[in-house]
Chains A and B, each alone.
Chain A
C-alpha cells in the first residue's frame, strides 16, 4: 500500500506532464513550473510561476480600466423595494439606470458610491419603453463619471465588463465586476406589453444577475458601451446563464437630452408596419394615412431600403432602428418603388399617448413579465415573506429628504419639471451670450437675394411682419397672439416663424409664452434631406447629423420649435400654423452675429433660399412704411 501510494503520488504531477504535451504550452512557463513544482514538493512550499510581461501588462491595463469604471458605478437602494445599479455620466451627478429599477423607488432614492459614501438622488427623466431612467445624485459637483463610447463600433468578441450590484451584494457600495465578451450586437428583445423593449441591444456573456440592472457595461478602456438591464433567467430561476443584454450607449445618447429635460419620453413609431416579402425584401405592409411617412409619400408595398442611415434587410433591423429613436425625431428614410429610389425625411410619432405612459409609470398598468424578465429587485422576491410597503406597485407619496427639497416639481407629461426649467434656462443663457441685441422696439430689416438672384426684403417689428418677394408682398399682425395664416403663400408660415424668432431673441426663453425644453434632435444642416451633411458627426447619431438643443413654444394655435446650437446660435425654427399641418421649416446659416442665409422648407418643397446681404436695425419708428429709408449710422443706405 505505502509503496503504491508513493509511486502514485509522484505520478500525481501528471497534470503538468499532460499539459506539457499540449502544443499550446511548449514555451517557458510549464517546464519552469515543473521545476518549481518539484522543488516545492521537497520544500513543502510553492513559489509563484513566472508570467510573461505582456500578460502582466494586459492584466494591469484591465485592472486600471476597472478601477476607473468602478468609481462611476452607483449602487441604488430603493429601501423595501430592493434596489439595483446605475452609472454616473457627468461630474454634476447625472446617472443612468433602468426604468424598472427606479419605478418601485419613486422620486427619491439613496445611492452608494465605491468610496463608501451615500448620496441622495432624485428622479430626473424616464423612458419606460426603452427601460431607461436618468437620476441626479446630489452632494458633490465633482462626481467621478464614465464617458459614453460609440456602441456602433462594438464587435462580437470584444472584451467587456459589467459593474453593478447583483443581489445587492455590494454592502460596502463597491461594485461587483464581471467580465466577458460581447456575444452579439444589434439584438432585438421583445417588449413586455408596450414597454421595456430592448432594441439594437448588446448581448454579453459577462455575468448579469438580478441587481445588475441599470449598471454600466464598459469596454476595455472603461468607457460605457451600454446599460445592463435584462438577462435570460428562465433556465436557472433568477440566476445568470451567460446571456445578458445591455441598452446600447448610442440609444442612451439619443435620449439623454430629452431625459435631462425632465420629460417622460416616448419612443418613435413610423406609423407603418413592414413585412418580409417572398423575395426577402422588407416592404410596407400597412401604413396610416395620418402618418408623416404617408405625407412624405411612403405607400403600401414600397420597399424600405434604409432608415436613419442604416440599411434595412430584415424586419428586425427596422425594429432595431426605430426602437432606438425618440418620438418627434426626424430621420432620413430611403425606400424603393418600381426600381426607383426615394429619399425622404420622416418625422416620427409616439408609441403612446402621454396619458398611457403616465399610467404605466404610476404602476397602474403593470405589464406581464417578458421572458427575459428584467429584475430590479433581488431583495423582496429573494426574501419571500417580508412585508412589502403598503400598496407596493402603486407610486408611493413623495416624501423628499432635506437634501432634495426644491429639486422635484411634478407636471403632466413630465417626470420632474424642475429639470426642464434648468435646461430651458441653460439654453436661454447660451442664446443671450451669443446674440448681442439692439435695444428697444427696433424694426429689423433683412434684405438680400433669393436663390435665383431676385431681391427680397423682410421687415420685422413688434407690431407686424412684412415680406417683399418677386411674387408679391404679404404681411401679418405681430402683436399678441399670432394669427395662423401661413404667409407668404407656399411658405407654410414663414412670417409667423420669423416673428417667433424675433420674440425669442428679444424676450429670451424664460419669458417667451409657454416655452419648455424639448431635448435634442439631429440637425440636418442646409440642404439636408438625406444628402448627408458637412456638420461634424456625434458618434451614433443617424446619418452623421449632430445633436442640438430644442426649445418648444406655443402661442395660441401656433406651435414653434427652435433648434439651438451649443454656442447659442439659433439654427432654425419649425412652425406649425395648425398641429396636423406640415410645419414651415426655417434653417439659418451662422454668420458673425446675425445669420448669413436662411433656407425655408415646407413639406417636401424648398420654398426658397435667402442670402441675407444686410440687416438694418431701424430706431423705433413711427410706422414701418418707410422702413429702410435711412439706415443706421454705420450701415450704407439703400
Chain B
C-alpha cells in the first residue's frame, strides 16, 4: 500500500498490465523489500527457523531436567493460581564432571537433593552444594558413572557484546527428557533486576527456569531464573511466567562465583543497612534517612542526613542508582562510597562491608503517641502536604504511654515535639539536631538509634519551649490501659460493603467518620472462612455467608467508633479455607478503602482467629511493612512460616490471644521464635470466653502509633 504515496507507478499495482509486468520481478525483489519491512523475508524467515533449530541443537546436550523428590507442598492449600509453586523444571551444565546450575524454584530451600535427568533420559541423584540467594540459583553436583563422557560445557557470551533486539532462544527440558523445549524472542534489556539479570521477551516459565538463554549462534547468554519484579511488589517472580518478561542471570556472572558455590558456600544479597525517606527511588536523591549503628553503614560512619554521591566508583544521584551499585554484590563484598555531609557538603570517602543479615532490630521508642496524620509526608511526591503539617510546627502528642520514658520525663498530651538530637555516642562524631516535621521523620530518626540511647527532645508547650533528655526503650509489648477514646456516637459510623468490580465476595467495612486531620487506623479481622470452616461444613448459601460477616462487622461498631479504627471483615473466596487469592483481594480492598477514608499508615493491623490467624500472618507478610501489627487469636503461626528478622522500618507488633490451656505450647514456641527475630510479642489477657475483645484490639491498633 505504500505505493499510494508513490507518484507515477501503477496505483496499488492495479491494471493487469502493471500486474503482469511486475509479477515476474517480484520473487527477485521480495527479499530486499522484506528485509526492510519485517527483519525477515520469507526466505530469511525460514533461514532464521533453521538457525533457531541449529542453535538449539548446539546447546541441547547441556540442558537437563531437574525435579525435587520427596518434598511436599507447603504454605496455603489450594491450587497455585497467580504463581506456580513447584514442579519439574530445568537445569544447565556448568561443569564437565557433573556440575549443574538450577533455580530455587526447582530446588526449594528445604530440599537437600534433587533428581537430574540427562538428555536421553538417564536419571541421577544430585546433591545441593551451594546456593546464590541473591539470584535465586542453586548449584547441583551429580556423580557421573565410571566411563561416562564429560558433560558438554558451553561458552558464555560476554555481557558487553549483547545488543537489545538480538535473537534470544530459551531452552528447557522439563517437558520431555528426549527433546529440549525451545522458545524464541529477542533481548529486551541488558540491565535488569538492579543489574543482576538480562531480560528477554521469549516465554520463560517453570518449564525452562534453569535452562539457558541462547543467542542465534548457539552461544549461551545466561541461565533463566524467576527473579522478582520488586518495583511491582512481586515476591516470587513466577507471577511473570510466559508474560513476555523473562530474566536470565548472565553465565559470566555465574562462572565468576562458581568456585565459591562448588566449595559449598551460600551467597547472600549484601545489606548496607540504611533507609531512605522517599518511597520513589527513581527521583529521590540517596539521602540517608535511617542508619543503624550496628549496620555496615553505621560502622563505616554514615549518618542520617548524609547524601551518597558515589558508590563503587560510579556517581549516583538517585536511590535507584545506588541500588544498582549494591544489588549485584554479595554479603562480604566491600563497597566504596563517597558521601556529602552538612552545609559544607564535605566529601567523605568510606568503605562499607556488606552483610547478609543485620541483627534483629528492636524498635526503640520514647513512649509517646503522636496525633494521627495521613500518609502525606514530605516524601509523598505530587501530593498536597496535609493541612496540619502546614498549620503547626512539629509533631503533637496525643497521649503518653503509661509510665514510659516520656511520661516519666514529664511529657504530656498536647506537647509538641519540634526537634530531636541524640546525645553523644549516638551515631559517631558530634550529633546534629534534626527538625521534626512529621511522625515519620521522628520515626526514621529513632529507627537509627538503639534502646538505651538518650535523646534530647525539643518540646513546645503553650508558648514556651524546652529540651528534655529522654532514654529510649524497646517498643512495649503489652496492650496499654487507659488509651484515650472519643465519645462519638456509634450511629455516625457506616457499615458498608467494600466492593470492587473484580471482587466476588466483598468484605464488610466498619467506617467511622474521619477527616484528613484525623485519619483512621485500620484493623482487618479474619474469622472463620466464609463457609464456617471445616471441609465438613455444608456449603452455605452466599447470601447467608454475607449476612453472617455483616453481623461479624456490626460487633465492631462500638469499639471502632471510640478508637477511630476502620475495621474490615473480609470473606474467603473458598467457603472452606482462606487462600492465596484472598490476599490479593484484601490488597485491593485496602486500596479501595484509601479512596473512601483517609488512613493513618502507622496504624494498620490484621487480626485473625482460628483458621483466620494463620491467614492474618501470611497476609501481613505479603502486604509488607505497611502492616504494623498482627494479632492471632486462638491460633498459631502457619506451619513452615518463615520468620525473617526485623529491620528498621520492617517490624510489626505481634499479639497472641489464647483460651486457657489451648495449644499453649505451640504459641510459646512461636513466641520464642518471633522474639528471637526481634518482634515485640504481646499476650492478650485470657479471652476466657468473654467473646471477641473488640475494645482491647482497637485500643491496641491505636497504640501501634507509639514513638
Contact in complex: A80, B587 (CB < 8 Å): no
- Nearest residue (CB) in A for B157 is A48
Q: Which residues of A contact B146 (CB under 8 A)?
A: 2
Q: Which residues of B contact A152 (CB under 8 A)?
A: 1
CB distance from A474 to the nearest CB of B (A): 46
Residue B165 is within 8 A (CB to CB) of chain A in the complex: yes
Residue A271 is within 8 A (CB to CB) of chain B in the complex: no
Q: Which residues of B contact A104 (CB under 8 A)?
A: 382
The residue that B244 contacts in the complex, of A5, A12, A221, A240, with Cβ under 8 A, is A240
Alpha-carbon separation in the docked complex, A539 to B6 (Å): 12
CB distance from A112 to the nearest CB of B (A): 7
Contact in complex: A159, B40 (CB < 8 Å): yes
Contact in complex: B595, A49 (CB < 8 Å): no
Alpha-carbon separation in the docked complex, A10 to B122 (Å): 11
- Nearest residue (CB) in B for A237 is B82
> Contacts A168-B231, A171-B323, A220-B37; is A385 near B587 (CB within 8 Å)?
yes
Alpha-carbon separation in the docked complex, A178 to B655 (Å): 48
Chain B residues 177 to 235 lying within 8 A of chain A, measured CB to CB, are 178-180, 185-192, 194, 199, 201, 216-219, 229, 231-234
- Nearest residue (CB) in B for A389 is B383
> Contacts A9-B119, A172-B324, A240-B243; is A118 near B318 (CB within 8 Å)?
yes
Residue B404 is within 8 A (CB to CB) of chain A in the complex: no
Contact in complex: B152, A386 (CB < 8 Å): no
Q: Which of A28-36, A484-492, A509-517, A598-606 contacts B (4 or more CB under 8 A)?
A: A28-36
> Contacts A24-B46, A81-B382, A158-B37; is A171 near B324 (CB within 8 Å)?
yes
Contact in complex: A396, B384 (CB < 8 Å): yes
Q: Which residues of B contact A208 (CB under 8 A)?
A: 244
Q: Which of A54-62, A495-503, A623-631 contacts B (4 or more CB under 8 A)?
A: A54-62
The residue that A539 contacts in the complex, of B5, B231, B233, B243, with Cβ under 8 A, is B5
Q: Which residues of B contact A62 (CB under 8 A)?
A: 39, 165, 186
> Contacts A54-B47, A167-B245; is A389 near B382 (CB within 8 Å)?
yes
- Number of A residues, CB within 8 Å of B: 124
Chain A residues 56 to 107 lying within 8 A of chain B, measured CB to CB, are 56-59, 61-63, 65-67, 70, 75, 77-81, 83, 104-106
Task: From A19, A206, A539, name the one whose CB has the most chain B CB atoms within 10 angstroms.
Answer: A19
Contact in complex: B626, A387 (CB < 8 Å): yes
Residue A388 is within 8 A (CB to CB) of chain B in the complex: yes
Q: Which of B426-434, B596-604, B659-667, B682-690 contacts A (4 or more CB under 8 A)?
A: B596-604
Alpha-carbon separation in the docked complex, A174 to B382 (Å): 24
Q: Which residues of B contact A168 (CB under 8 A)?
A: 231-232, 282
- Nearest residue (CB) in B for A380 is B591
Contact in complex: B145, A2 (CB < 8 Å): yes
- Nearest residue (CB) in B for A539 is B5
Contact in complex: B57, A33 (CB < 8 Å): yes
Contact in complex: A34, B57 (CB < 8 Å): yes
Contact in complex: A176, B598 (CB < 8 Å): no
- Nearest residue (CB) in B for A37 is B58
Alpha-carbon separation in the docked complex, A386 to B2 (Å): 50
Residue A452 is within 8 A (CB to CB) of chain B in the complex: no
> Contacts A46-B58, A239-B239, A384-B587; is A153 near B192 (CB within 8 Å)?
no
CB distance from A631 to the nearest CB of B (A): 43
Contact in complex: B244, A178 (CB < 8 Å): yes
Contact in complex: A44, B153 (CB < 8 Å): yes
The residue that B51 contacts in the complex, of A51, A75, A112, A179, with Cβ under 8 A, is A51
Residue B342 is within 8 A (CB to CB) of chain A in the complex: no
Contact in complex: B154, A385 (CB < 8 Å): no
Residue A480 is within 8 A (CB to CB) of chain B in the complex: no
Alpha-carbon separation in the docked complex, A231 to B376 (Å): 33
- Nearest residue (CB) in B for A386 is B626
Alpha-carbon separation in the docked complex, A11 to B374 (Å): 67
CB distance from B317 to the nearest CB of A (A): 8
Residue B147 is within 8 A (CB to CB) of chain A in the complex: yes
- Nearest residue (CB) in B for A177 is B188
Contact in complex: A77, B283 (CB < 8 Å): yes
Residue B353 is within 8 A (CB to CB) of chain A in the complex: no
CB distance from A270 to the nearest CB of B (A): 27
Alpha-carbon separation in the docked complex, A270 to B71 (Å): 65
Contact in complex: B381, A80 (CB < 8 Å): yes
Residue B700 is within 8 A (CB to CB) of chain A in the complex: no
Chain B residues 344 to 362 lying within 8 A of chain A, measured CB to CB, are none
Contact in complex: B376, A5 (CB < 8 Å): no
Residue B552 is within 8 A (CB to CB) of chain A in the complex: no
Alpha-carbon separation in the docked complex, A387 to B522 (Å): 12
Contact in complex: A79, B283 (CB < 8 Å): yes
Contact in complex: A52, B50 (CB < 8 Å): yes
Contact in complex: B147, A6 (CB < 8 Å): yes
- Nearest residue (CB) in A for B153 is A44
Q: Which residues of A contact B54 (CB under 8 A)?
A: 25, 29-30, 32-33, 49, 51
CB distance from A198 to the nearest CB of B (A): 19
Residue B164 is within 8 A (CB to CB) of chain A in the complex: yes
Q: Which residues of B contact A27 (CB under 8 A)?
A: 50
0/1 per residue, B482-519, Cβ < 8 Å to A? 00000000000000000001100000000000001000
Alpha-carbon separation in the docked complex, A13 to B48 (Å): 21
0/1 per residue, B616-631, Cβ < 8 Å to A? 0000001110110000
- Nearest residue (CB) in B for A219 is B37
Contact in complex: A171, B320 (CB < 8 Å): yes
Chain B residues 33 to 65 lying within 8 A of chain A, measured CB to CB, are 35-41, 43-44, 46-51, 53-62
Alpha-carbon separation in the docked complex, A34 to B43 (Å): 23
> Contacts A8-B121, A51-B217; is A159 near B56 (CB within 8 Å)?
no
CB distance from A167 to the nearest CB of B (A): 4
Contact in complex: A55, B44 (CB < 8 Å): yes
Q: Which residues of B contact A63 (CB under 8 A)?
A: 163-166
> Contacts A44-B152, A239-B240; is A167 near B53 (CB within 8 Å)?
no
Alpha-carbon separation in the docked complex, A36 to B375 (Å): 62
- Nearest residue (CB) in A for B626 is A385
> Contacts A172-B191, A388-B375; is A239 near B243 (CB within 8 Å)?
yes
CB distance from B576 to the nearest CB of A (A): 23
The residue that B383 contacts in the complex, of A48, A118, A381, A390, with Cβ under 8 A, is A390
Contact in complex: B587, A48 (CB < 8 Å): no
Contact in complex: B57, A30 (CB < 8 Å): yes
CB distance from B520 to the nearest CB of A (A): 12
Alpha-carbon separation in the docked complex, A459 to B48 (Å): 73
The residue that A30 contacts in the complex, of B31, B50, B188, with Cβ under 8 A, is B50
- Nearest residue (CB) in A for B187 is A177
Residue B9 is within 8 A (CB to CB) of chain A in the complex: no
Alpha-carbon separation in the docked complex, A105 to B383 (Å): 9
Residue B77 is within 8 A (CB to CB) of chain A in the complex: no
- Nearest residue (CB) in B for A371 is B501
A-B residue pairs in contact (CB < 8 Å), sample of 29: A2-B145, A5-B145, A6-B147, A6-B148, A8-B120, A8-B122, A30-B54, A44-B153, A56-B216, A58-B40, A59-B165, A61-B39, A63-B164, A153-B1, A153-B4, A169-B189, A169-B192, A208-B244, A384-B588, A384-B591, A384-B624, A387-B599, A387-B626, A390-B516, A391-B516, A391-B598, A392-B594, A393-B595, A396-B384
Q: Across chains A and B, which 8 residue pairs bring their CB atoms closest together, nearest first?
A: A207-B244, A79-B381, A384-B587, A387-B375, A389-B383, A12-B119, A12-B120, A383-B233
Tell me the A residues contacting B by CB distance below 8 Å.
1-6, 8-16, 18-19, 22, 24-25, 27, 29-30, 32-34, 36-37, 40-41, 44-52, 54-59, 61-63, 65-67, 70, 75, 77-81, 83, 104-106, 108-110, 112, 118, 150, 152-153, 155, 158-159, 161, 166-172, 174-180, 206-211, 219-221, 236-237, 239-240, 242, 368-369, 378-393, 396-397, 399, 539
Tell me the B residues contacting A by CB distance below 8 Å.
1-2, 4-5, 31, 35-41, 43-44, 46-51, 53-62, 82, 96, 118-122, 145-155, 163-167, 178-180, 185-192, 194, 199, 201, 216-219, 229, 231-234, 239-240, 243-245, 279-283, 318, 320, 323-324, 374-376, 380-384, 386, 501-502, 516, 584, 586-588, 590-591, 594-595, 598-599, 601, 604, 622-624, 626-627
Given A49-B51, A158-B38, output 8 extra A-B contacts at Cβ < 8 Å. A5-B147, A44-B153, A46-B152, A58-B44, A153-B1, A169-B229, A178-B245, A386-B626
